[in-house]
Amino acid sequence: MKKSIIKSTGMFVPPNVITNHDLEKMIDTSDEWIKQRTGIEQRYWIDGETGASDLGFEASKIALENAGWTAQDLDFIIFATLSPDIMFPGSGCLLQAKLGLDSTPALDIRQQCTGFLYGLATADAYIKSGLASKILLVGGEVHSSGLDKTTRGRDITVIFGDGAAAVCIEGVETDKQAGVLSSALHADGNLASALMTELPASRLPIRLPRDISLDDPRYFPVMDGPAIFKKAVRMLPKVIKESLEKAQISLDEIDLIIPHQANMRINQALGQFLKLDDNKIFHNIQKYGNTTAASIPIALHEAMEQGLIGKSGDVVLFTGLGAGLTWGSVIYKFL
Ligand code: ACO
């Protein structure tokens, strides 16, 4: 059977660095609070008109070059984002056109922080079913243009960053145990309101209500941070265990855990719960903040560049929880 093999990665963040001190000038917050509660020191925000597909395009060019592929080699594109460039069509279609293509199928995934996990599981299913063999999986977000940059929105505004990463995935015929070994995905829509942006809403008679001020909090993301924090600390170990059982491997066989970068404290708590050495969990939230669908592939790109993983036989476990709520874990073994 064909295995889903990561051929290459690429990442891109916009050039505009926003430090915690920059945020202190905007809202009532402090570098100390942000670092202590989240681990974040800086993030990148776009400057001017830039969509998720623009960031994704830059990351894709790097991933394609690293794979030795051209865009014409692709037979499927998956774009994970919660911040599409426009209401519709999806950022996957916009990216496809930017890549100079005009008929390659493009699918958008709206799974927020687990977008990469759902995307990787989808790519694996497409490859194993024979529907595709050369897939570009992209996670890209532009949060900064939709944040409440007043003290009212400070809990969320300080955590989100913009960025994108792309992964080229190829179906390779091999008897070796390699590629995506297991995926465990979950969602609980009953908790949708724990993290959401409500407007514009197609369920309303008028999607952009004219009588509502543009300062209305419903136009901005709102989050019950402590509830999500507790849920993450409870659910991530469970879903990791589920994915290990599905793959029939033990935690000791995992070389590196790459969690979604939502909060350094969530990932440290995860490490303590699993009794892991500090170097077994990858952190880069200090540089990028929470880039949502881009966070796991950006971390994958950096972990590979740093030589932490990527050798034949290395096993990496991706995991995360976010809006939806959605959570999951995917285990991957390098060929
Ligand atoms: N600066 C200063 N003070 C702040 C800030 C800020 N940026 N934000 C909140 N505070 C204040 C609050 O007002 C509160 O003050 P009070 O005690 O006077 O009422 C105090 O700090 C504590 O607030 P909490 O919300 O309890 O702070 P907490 O330690 O929980 O940290 C945070 C907040 C960072 C948001 C945390 O709850 C968290 O990371 N939650 C999980 C987020 C997550 O994983 N989201 C899912 C992924 S995102 C996605 O899916 C798109």
pLDDT tens-digit map of 262-282? 999 999 999 999 999 989 999
Ligand 1: residue whose CA is nearest its atom 13: 155
Where residue 1 falls among pLDDT bands split at 50, 70, 90?
Answer: confident
pLDDT at 62: 98
Please tell me whether residues 126 and 12 are part of one structural domain: yes
Out of 109, 143, 173, pick the residue that ends a domain: 173
Ramachandran area for residue 314 (φ above 0: left; ψ -120 to 50: alpha; else beta): beta
Q: At 105, which CATH number?
A: 3.40.47.10
Please tell me whether residues 152 and 210 are part of one structural domain: no
- How far is CA 312 from each of CA 177, 302, 315, rounded to the nearest angstrom? 11, 17, 9
Q: For residue 260, which atom of ligand 1 is closest to its CA? A: 47
Among 42, 103, 39, which residue's Cα sits nearest to residue 76? 103
Host domain of residue 271:
179-333
3-state secondary structure of 11: strand
Please tell me whether residues 114 and 6 are part of one structural domain: yes
Please tell me whether residues 157 and 257 are part of one structural domain: no
Mean pLDDT (the chain) is: 97
pLDDT at 209: 84
pLDDT at 324: 95
Please tell me whether residues 114 and 167 are part of one structural domain: yes
pLDDT at 78: 98
Please tell me whether residues 193 and 284 are part of one structural domain: yes
Instruction: Report whether pLDDT(131) > 90.
Output: yes
> Are residues 256 and 316 in contact, defined by beta-carbon separation less than 8 angstroms?
yes
Determine whether the shortest distance from the Cβ of 292 to ligand 1 is under 6 A: yes
Side by side, the strands of the sheet bearing 326-333 are 179-187, 326-333, 315-322, 256-259
Please tell me whether residues 151 and 12 are part of one structural domain: yes
The whole-angstrom separation of Cα 248 and Cα 235 is 20
> Are residues 159 and 303 in contact, defined by beta-carbon separation less than 8 angstroms?
no
The whole-angstrom separation of Cα 255 and Cα 249 is 12
Active site residues: 113, 260, 290
The whole-angstrom separation of Cα 50 and Cα 14 is 9
Give me the phi and psi of 160, to 5 degrees please. -90, 140
What is the amino acid identity at position 104? Answer: T
Among 231, 278, 288, which residue's Cα sits nearest to residue 257? 278
pLDDT at 140: 98
Please tell me whether residues 137 and 257 are part of one structural domain: no
Please tell me whether residues 65 and 81 are part of one structural domain: yes
Among 208, 202, 160, 185, which residue's Cα sits nearest to residue 319? 185
Determine whether the shortest distance from the Cβ of 195 to ligand 1 is under 6 A: yes
Out of 124, 153, 173, pick the residue that ends a domain: 173
The percentage of the chain sitting over the pLDDT mark of 70, rounded to a whole number, equals 100
Under 8 Å CB-to-CB from 198, ≥6 apart: which residues? 218, 219, 222
Tokens at 270, concatenated: 């995860």
Instruction: Report whether pLDDT(257) > 90.
Output: yes
Please tell me whether residues 95 and 206 are part of one structural domain: no
Question: 18 has which bridge partners?
Answer: 43
Please tell me whether residues 120 and 186 are part of one structural domain: no
Q: What is the pLDDT of residues 221-248, one digit of tens each?
A: 999 999 999 999 999 999 999 999 999 9
The whole-angstrom separation of Cα 231 and Cα 225 is 10
Ligand 1: residue of 24, 25, 26, 37 to mutate (most ligand atoms within 8 A of CB) is 37
Q: What is the pLDDT of residues 9-55, one digit of tens each?
A: 999 999 999 999 999 999 999 999 999 999 999 999 999 999 999 99
pLDDT at 298: 98
Out of 142, 173, 204, pick the residue that ends a domain: 173
Number of domains in the chain: 2
Please tell me whether residues 163 and 95 are part of one structural domain: yes
3-state secondary structure of 109: strand
